[in-house]
Every structure is written in structure tokens, then in C-alpha cells.
């Protein structure tokens, strides 16, 4: 069974840790409070039962690694970052999915959390590449990956079915060799 207690990273403002089933009540309340922020981009679980199924899929599936970004100031969950579709072998890649909760949006917590997840992905998980597919109008999400050093790789029409319709997405990616060694606390961003 995967370790659901050890943090994937801790910095000045955030602690990134795996999902736990006990997070259901807090996660669901935050997801409900964040509906306006999330729509039409994402639809996190809104009931304890849906959270349990969601968390179970992230915790038990070896092709996923899921993390909660927690605010060290108050201990609340600020958001979530999942690495989905992890492929080993010659690919060593995963696809990111993430979201901030309304109380934490725009405070830089997700940026710090993403740096921890990137370090974990390129370190203990042994991945070479992370990809983020983002709807063109989702400016906050695009800004997050830009700040983290992802490069724009293309455009995929009708890429993913969301809320009953096929949605266009921009493809962004970062590889382990694009980030330089950094001091404790965070990835430094693109090398060069």
C-alpha cells in the first residue's frame, strides 16, 4: 500500500503530502466553496462518497501519484496536484492535473506546491517529463505552468471531454533536464 503520510516536500509556506481518506470532509467543503473558481475548467468531488472514490483511484492506482498542497500558516488544504497516466520504460512521463481552492487562489501556494511535486517527480518517482494540458481560456493555470518553467509544445483541438463537450487544450511540458539544481525550498525554474 502506498505511503499516505510522508510529505513529498515542505517549504516556507506549504507542505505537500499524499491524499488521505480522512481528508474527505475538508476537501469536499473546499471544493463546494470553490465551484465558481473551478467552473468550467474542473470538477473535483463534491460529496464524501465521490471524494472516497476519487482518493482511492489516486492512492491505489500505480499509474497515478496524488498530492494535497497544505498551507503551513493554518494547516488547511490549499489545492491538489495529481500526476496521472504515469508511463515507465522509455517514456518516464506523467500528465498533471491540479486545482487551487478559492481561499488559497492567487497567493502563490500552488506555485510552491508544484515545485515540490516537480522535485518529487524528477527525484523519487524517477520521471523524465511532466505534461500539462490546459484549456486556452484558463489563464491562471497557464500562468502557473509558465512560472514553473514549462514550455509550450502545441495545441490539441477537441483533446479532452469536459462537462459534456470536447475541449481544445494547449500542451505544456517540462523535463528533468530543464530545471537546474536548486537550494532547499524550491526548484529554481528553467535552466540556461
Q: Which helix (H) or strand (E) holds 151?
A: strand 151-162
pLDDT tens digit sequence for 37-75:
777 777 788 899 999 999 999 999 999 999 999 999 999
Out of 28-37, 136-145, 175-184, give the one with best mean pLDDT.
136-145
Q: How far apart, in whole angstroms, are the C-alpha atoms of residue 99 and residue 36?
A: 12
Cα 162 from Cα 20, distance rounded (Å): 26
Sign (positive or negative) of CA dihedral 181, 186, 190, 192? negative
pTM, entire model: 0.87
Confidence of residue 121 (pLDDT cuts 50, 70, 90): very high
pLDDT of residue 185: 42
Q: What is the spatial distance between Cα 48 and Cα 10, in angstroms, rounded to a whole number?
A: 27
Over the chain, what is the mean pLDDT?
A: 88
Res. 182: pLDDT tops 90? no
Q: Is the pLDDT of residue 125 over 60?
A: yes
- Residue 52's φ and ψ, nearest 5 degrees, are -60, -45
Please tell me the distance from the alpha carbon of residue 51 to that of residue 29, in angstroms, as a whole number: 11
Q: Taking Cα atoms as reference points, which of 115, 117, 126, 109 lies closest to residue 187?
A: 115
Amino acid at each position: 500500500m502506498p505511503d499516505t503520510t510522508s510529505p513529498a516536500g515542505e517549504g516556507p509556506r506549504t507542505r505537500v503530502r499524499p491524499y488521505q481518506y480522512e481528508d474527505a470532509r475538508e476537501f469536499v467543503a473546499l471544493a463546494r466553496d470553490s465551484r465558481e473558481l473551478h467552473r468550467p475548467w474542473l470538477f473535483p468531488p463534491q460529496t464524501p462518497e465521490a471524494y472516497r472514490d476519487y482518493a482511492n483511484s489516486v492512492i491505489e492506482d500505480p499509474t497515478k501519484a496524488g498530492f494535497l498542497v497544505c498551507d503551513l500558516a493554518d494547516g488547511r488544504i490549499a489545492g491538489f496536484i495529481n500526476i496521472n497516466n504515469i508511463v515507465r520504460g522509455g517514456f518516464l512521463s506523467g500528465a498533471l492535473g491540479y486545482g487551487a481552492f478559492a481561499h488559497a487562489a492567487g497567493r502563490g501556494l500552488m506555485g510552491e506546491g508544484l515545485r515540490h511535486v516537480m522535485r518529487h517527480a524528477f527525484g523519487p518517482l524517477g520521471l523524465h517529463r511532466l505534461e500539462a494540458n490546459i484549456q486556452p481560456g484558463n489563464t491562471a493555470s497557464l500562468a502557473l505552468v509558465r512560472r514553473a518553467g514549462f514550455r509550450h509544445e502545441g495545441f490539441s483541438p477537441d483533446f479532452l471531454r469536459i462537462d459534456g463537450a470536447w475541449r481544445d487544450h494547449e500542451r505544456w511540458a517540462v523535463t528533468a533536464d530543464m530545471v537546474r539544481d536548486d537550494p532547499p525550498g524550491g526548484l529554481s525554474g528553467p535552466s540556461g
